Amino acid sequence: MQKLHSRQQQWMPVLFLAPALIMFVVYVILPICQSVLLSFYEWDGLGDKTFVGLDNYFELFEDEQFWLALKNNIYWMVFYMLAPPLGLAVALFLNQKVLGIRLVKSLFFFPFVISQVVVGLVFAWFYDPSYGLFNIALTSLGFEPIAVLSDENWVTFGIIAAGLWPQIAYCMILYLTGLNNLSPDQLEAARLDGAHGWKMLWHVILPQLKPATFIAIVVTVIGALRSFDLVATMTAGGPFGSSNVLAYFMYEQSIFNYRVGYGAAIATVLFLIMDVYIAYFLWRMLKSEKA
Amino acid sequence: MFPTPIEKLSKSVNISYRAAIWIALILWLLPLIAVMMTSARSVADINMGNYWGIPEQWMILENYTQVFTSTPMARYLLNSIMITVPAVIGAVAISTLAGYALAKFKFRGNVLLFATFIGGNFVPFQILMIPVRDLTISMGLYDTATGLILFHVAFQAGFCTLFMRNFIVGLPDELIEAARVEGVSEWKIFWHVVLPLVRPAIAALSVLIFTFIWNDYFWALVLVQSDEVRPVTAGISALMGQWLASWQLISAGSIVAALPPVILFFAMQKHFIAGLTLGATKG
């Protein structure tokens, strides 16, 4: 970076930054503050707001629906964590140079490119209780059929599995690029030392894939906490709220139940959970920036 | 290369590997293949419970024609284009400017601003929902394409600025410095020196956020309500409510909705992947 020479240069960065910054402040930064503020009010979205202090939060912590949604978000996070290792497995499987492999790789990536609404539909069809592929497979293996999307015990896992589909594809691409950038010298040296298979993967390959793993984990956690599209299209949180997650619960309360202040409190809780990861990401990113 | 190149192994391993990748691919895409097949089925076929076999009767032309004639699918597609294209252009334009400022100018608060753009890009949509909806309503832009476009431009500016800044940081300072010594104005330096160099990054970024914005569902629900403005994601889910029994039409509609980003992905694959992994390779 250079020293600033003239007046003109001092003002230039401000001008260059202004459009993006103004938009970002108006549509992202201020709304965050307004939402947090709104969570201390009772509001139906139209009439007057009433200040109620922490009442929304007290109510929230006694609301069974909230705990159910939070529990489901934790399931999402835990099971979504399968995406990075599975993505790595697929990437290792496909990291060869045979005829047609480029096409196979792109087609494997397919689920990430299509909209989650379509993914939801694809899986609703897959889980169909009477003729869906999933139940045909189950019965042919000698199990009882399961109506995944209308069964309180299975529904969340069914939706998570649908979400894992594009998420694994995403992680796979991250790892394929990482595998492409491995240092050939280190591989050669390790091979000369007699390393191979699992040992090689653990001690030589994985350390070199660290940047890919970092991004894969971050996008997976954020994806799990952001889960909305699939829940909204596949079940709308049902049956009886059993597949609800915080993101959908908030939407439901604010839009359908006109409880905007309460919705803001849910959003604030979700935001605070997410902040832990955002802070961690920023810390890592800025640290590598300084190095 | 890791794992060991398969060519170095025995012939039988090679043959089975080559077969295995295609079998794995078919299994991986099986749920999608079922929907594609369904989009070509007749109603009778579906009523008989033939959900995933070969259609008894191929109705590709009939079903896809019906999607366009008896549902507002064409309208939804057009809406998606009218929303996505301006939003991509807007977000990339303002972010290239901001990314250049953050990458090549030293000023107080630079890192803090950069961190704000990155952090804001990860926040849950729900924390923005009510204020953004109110703001859009109060500007008279509720249920208009402009309302959605403005939001997408603003929100994507976070990710795009991060992306452009990281790319521009890697450009040599000497070029810019040399132009400054010559007395070239800052704006001209940006336009004639920086911009030509960042073209590959702009291509990668545009392809990537095109799919992000095209596939957006949440904001389409929150900021829009009529068929005249609704993009294809919200359109499909509205159709699902109305056409619940007509799976062949819903399937055909979904395939149509998924096509534009898929085509773009295949046409610009290299850019797309470069865009997705920029952060991963830079760490």
- Summarize pLDDT for A59-100 with one digit per residue, the tens: 999 999 999 999 999 999 999 999 999 999 999 999 998 888
Mutate to test the interface with A, among B83, B127, B133, B269 (most CBs of A within 10 A): B127
Determine the pLDDT at residue B246: 81
Q: Which residues of A touch B18 (CB under 8 A)?
A: 98-99
Lowest average pLDDT, out of A72-81, B44-53, B89-98, goes to B44-53
In this predicted structure, the answer to whether residue A6 has a pLDDT above a threshold of 70 is no
Q: Which residues of A touch B237 (CB under 8 A)?
A: 117, 232-233
Residue B208, φ and ψ in degrees, nearest 5: -65, -50
Q: Which residues of A touch B254 (CB under 8 A)?
A: 117-118, 121-122
Collapsing DSSP to helix, strand or coil, B237 comes out as helix
Domains of chain B: 6-60 (no CATH), 71-282 (1.10.3720.10)
Of the candidates B49, B124, B130, which has its C-beta nearest A271's C-beta? Answer: B124
As a residue count, chain A comes to 291
Q: Please, where are the H alpha helices in chain B?
A: 11-38, 43-47, 60-70, 73-104, 110-122, 126-138, 145-169, 173-181, 186-189, 195-197, 199-214, 218-223, 232-242, 247-267, 269-282
Please indicate if any CB of chain A lies within 8 Å of the CB of B141: no
Please judge whether B265 and A113 are an interchain contact, meaning their C-beta atoms are less than 8 angstroms apart.
yes
Determine the pLDDT at residue B278: 57
Write the ipTM: 0.90
- Summarize pLDDT for B232-246 with one digit per residue, the tens: 999 998 888 777 678
Determine the pLDDT at residue A229: 94
- Summarize pLDDT for A202-233 with one digit per residue, the tens: 888 999 998 889 889 988 998 999 899 999 99
Of the candidates B52, B123, B130, which has its C-beta nearest A260's C-beta? Answer: B130
Please indicate if any CB of chain A lies within 8 Å of the CB of B135: yes
Q: Of B17, B47, B46, which Cα lies nearest the Cα of B34?
A: B46
Tokens 């993505």 -> residue: A87
Determine the pLDDT at residue A170: 92
Under CATH, what is the fold of the domain A37-290? MetI-like fold (1.10.3720)
Cβ–Cβ under 8 Å, residues A234 and A162: yes
CA nearest to B127 within chain A: A267
Lowest average pLDDT, out of A141-150, A255-264, B19-28, goes to A141-150
In this predicted structure, the answer to whether residue B283 has a pLDDT above a threshold of 70 is no
Q: How many CB pairs under 8 A join A and B?
A: 316
